[in-house]
């Protein structure tokens, strides 16, 4: 059975699947539809995989209007994973939560719609898996600059490797409210 840990930010969940280890290696279920549905996680429609080297920082990304909830985990290496609440009327608006995901701890992180998401690779390389609740929509893509001083996220590197697009994002306070969310 998967252990579920609620975080201080409503909707974010840490999931720790039961891992079966023996001298051959390990086995665990990365997803079981009924179990995740019982947790209130919407159905997934798309899987993504990224492979990155040390100090690559991807994020902070979100989509609107085609918002994606994401179930994420690492199958090789380790990452410092973060989600930022961008629901305008949430009591935790502008707050972040982070967790380390690795091939050793097998931890999963559920990031619902209404959060910006990003991660930084800690190991020499990392393979990062996503299950998404909506399809990728380039016209819905938005982001927050990784080093927003108001968020004050303590990223594990001060000189991340960024995509050209991730360098152009604005601080949260400078994003039009229409591009953000309201909580349910």
Q: Torsions phi, psi of 174, nearest 5?
A: -95, 0
Is 98 labeled as catalytic in the residue annotation? Answer: no
The full set of domains in the chain, from first to last, is: 3-179 (2.60.120.10)
Query: For 105-110, what is the mean pLDDT?
Result: 97
How far does CA 109 lie from the centroid of its chain?
A: 7
Pairwise CA distance, residues 176 & 154, whole Å: 25
pLDDT at position 184 is: 61
| pTM of the shown model | 0.95
Is 51 labeled as catalytic in the residue annotation? Answer: no
pLDDT at position 136 is: 95
- For the chain, give the percent of residues with pLDDT over 90: 91
pLDDT at position 178 is: 95
The per-residue pLDDT for range 124-134, each reduced to its tens digit, is 999 999 999 99
Is the backbone peptide bond immediately before 13 cis, with ω within 30 degrees of 0? no
List the catalytic residue out of 28, 61, 66, 142.
61
34, pLDDT greater than 80: yes
List the catalytic residue out of 28, 66, 130, 142.
130
Pairwise CA distance, residues 67 & 27, whole Å: 32
84, 94 Cβ separation under 8 angstroms: yes
183, pLDDT greater than 80: no
Give the confidence band of 97 by pLDDT, cuts at 50, 70, 90.
Answer: very high
pLDDT at position 1 is: 74
Lowest mean pLDDT among 32-36, 57-61, 174-178: 32-36
Tell me which DSSP letter residue 87 carries. B
Q: Torsions phi, psi of 56, nearest 5?
A: -70, 130
DSSP for 22-59? Answer: ETTEEE--S--HHHHHHTTPPPP-EEEEEEEETTBEEE
Mean pLDDT, the chain, rounded, equals 96
2, pLDDT greater than 90: no
């Amino acid at each position: 059975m998967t252990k579920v840990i609620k975080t201080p930010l409503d909707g974010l969940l840490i999931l720790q699947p039961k891992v079966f280890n023996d001298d051959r290696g390990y086995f665990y279920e990365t997803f079981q539809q009924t179990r995740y549905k019982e947790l209130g996680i919407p159905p997934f429609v798309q899987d993504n995989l990224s492979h990155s080297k040390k100090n690559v920082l991807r994020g902070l990304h979100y989509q609107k209007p085609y918002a994606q909830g994401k179930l994420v985990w690492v199958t090789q290496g380790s990452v410092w994973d973060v989600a930022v609440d961008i629901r305008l009327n949430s009591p935790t608006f502008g707050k972040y939560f982070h967790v380390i995901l690795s091939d050793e701890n097998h931890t999963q992180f559920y990031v619902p719609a209404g959060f910006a998401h990003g991660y930084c690779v800690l190991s020499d390389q990392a393979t990062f898996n996503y299950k998404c609740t909506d399809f990728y929509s380039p016209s819905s893509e938005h982001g927050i600059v990784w080093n927003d001083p108001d968020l004050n996220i303590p990223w594990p590197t001060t000189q991340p490797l960024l995509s050209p697009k991730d360098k152009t994002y604005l601080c949260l306070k400078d994003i039009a409210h229409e591009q953000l969310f309201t909580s349910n």
